[in-house]
Structure 1
Amino acid sequence: MKYFISGWAGFREALDVPEDWYFIVPFIDLDEEGILDFFKDKSGSTLIGWSTGGHIILKNLKFFSLRFNEIVIVAGFKKFTDYVHPRIIRRMIDKMEIQPETVIKEFLLNAGCKPILSEKADKNALKEGLKFLLSSEFNYIDYPKNKLILIHGSGDKILPIKALFDLKKIFSFAQMHTISGSHWIPFKVLDSILHS
């Protein structure tokens, strides 16, 4: 089984991830603890994490490295607020209360995704996801050196390319790819890297 842990408001409808990938939206399907619990008895060849999903994987890399041969992180980060001012996230949290659809669609457009709202869009769960981004971070520990691939779009409007280089300092053993693209990289491009 191939697993994909998406980003904030990264619903399957908005992305082009094939149906044969098991798809998890953080805080909509499961929070960080729930994701770890879900994967306790799972393993496979490839795990992909995008943005918030990638951050959760990197934060718990030892756990995931024991379960997957290859881990791919798209638009990952150590701490979101190192690159995005907390004020912007707090504004999104406040606006989610009155105009959740607008906040989600604006984010998806900025991320290079289809601005499609899922029926699963839960305002309170998404607010929890934004609160998570305000505080979650990880520090270096000794990680298993299995195959880790870091990918970032050169035209990312959400996270600057610096986030990629900062991760490379922590995970020096990782393969690093800068792709012409935005926060979301089309899946066919990811797939071509996986099979290169």
Structure 2
Amino acid sequence: MRVTFVSGWAGLPCLYPHIAERVDFLVPFFSHSPAQIEQALATECELLIGWSTGAHLILKQLELAGRTAGQIILIAPFLDFPNCVAPRIVNRMRQRLLREAEATVEDFWARCGNRHQACPPLKKEQIESLATGLDFLNSSTAKPEAGRASRLTLVRCQDDQLVPEAAFQATLGALGHASVTSIAAAHLPTEPQLTRIIADVSGSALF
């Protein structure tokens, strides 16, 4: 079973080490460019998963993803990030990122619910790519159509401090046909929580 996982901003493989070893794990604005993400979405898979920014990128190309993926799971999705976090906050985060990259990423992870993960040393080009990702989040809007996804599930994280309930409901309203599941998690579900979501939605214990 081919599984593609499109992670979020600074959603490094160390956050989901076991999953990252077993699926096509893509990190936008870090190790994968927007063109590479689009190419991945155009590649057939049985299960496509997007978390946060990854979910947003899939929403922007839902018609394409719906043609190639048997099932789609979008975790903590949003149509536009400024309705989740004020652009001035993202801009301050960008400025700090260029000065204190690892500390900025670790603080972001803590806000997402992971307070124990250390950020590995980041190279200059990686930092610049992450900064580009923040610029993208401040300006991007997804306007998804129904697409052709036979099975689409949105996952609401009940303790999410980044994507509020109103933003999640706006995503659901734009889609109409999606199933919804809710979990007791912060913006970043733990790896055991994520594996349970995958098993429950796909019906396959992949990990």
Distance 2:89 2:199 in 1: 34
Question: Is the contact between residue 73 and residue 154 of structure 2 (CA under 8 Å) also seen in structure 1?
Answer: yes
The whole-number CA distance in structure 2 between the counterparts of 1:102 and 1:120 is 11
Aligned with residue 191 of structure 1, among 181, 192, 198: 198
What one-letter code is carried by the residue in structure 2 that aligns with 1:71? I
TM-score by length of 2: 0.87
Does 1:52 pair with 2:53? yes
How many Å separate the matches in 2 of 1:15 and 1:100? 20
Counterpart amino acid of 1:143? G
* Structure 2 residues not aligned, in runs of 5+: none
1:144 alignment partner, one of 136, 142, 148: 148
User: 1:38/1:68 Cα in 2 relative to 1: closer, same or farther (>3 Å)?
Assistant: closer
- Other structure's SS at 1:128 match: helix
What TM-score, normalized to structure 1? 0.92
Q: CA RMSD in A?
A: 1.7
Structure 1 distance, partners of 2:18, 2:7, is: 10
Pairing 1:71-90 to 2, within 5 Å after superposition: 71-90=72-91
Residue 26 of structure 2 is aligned to residue 24 of structure 1: yes
Gaps in structure 1 of 5+ consecutive residues = none
Higher mean C-alpha deviation, range 44-53 or range 119-128: 119-128
Match of 1:9, SS state, is coil
Query: Is 2:53–2:77's contact at 8 Å kept on the other side of the alignment?
Result: yes
The question of whether the paired residues in 1 share the 8 Å contact of 2:146 and 2:175 is answered with: no
Q: Are the equivalent residues in 2 in contact too, given 1:28–1:120 (CA < 8 A)?
A: no
Residue type of the partner of 1:104? V
Give the CA deviation at 1:17.
Answer: 5.0
Name the residue aligned to 1:65.
66
* Structure 1 residue 157, shift from structure 2 partner: 1.3
4+ runs deviating over 6 angstroms: none
Q: How many residues align?
A: 195
Aligned to 2:180: 176
Q: Which moved more, 1:155-164 or 1:49-58?
A: 155-164
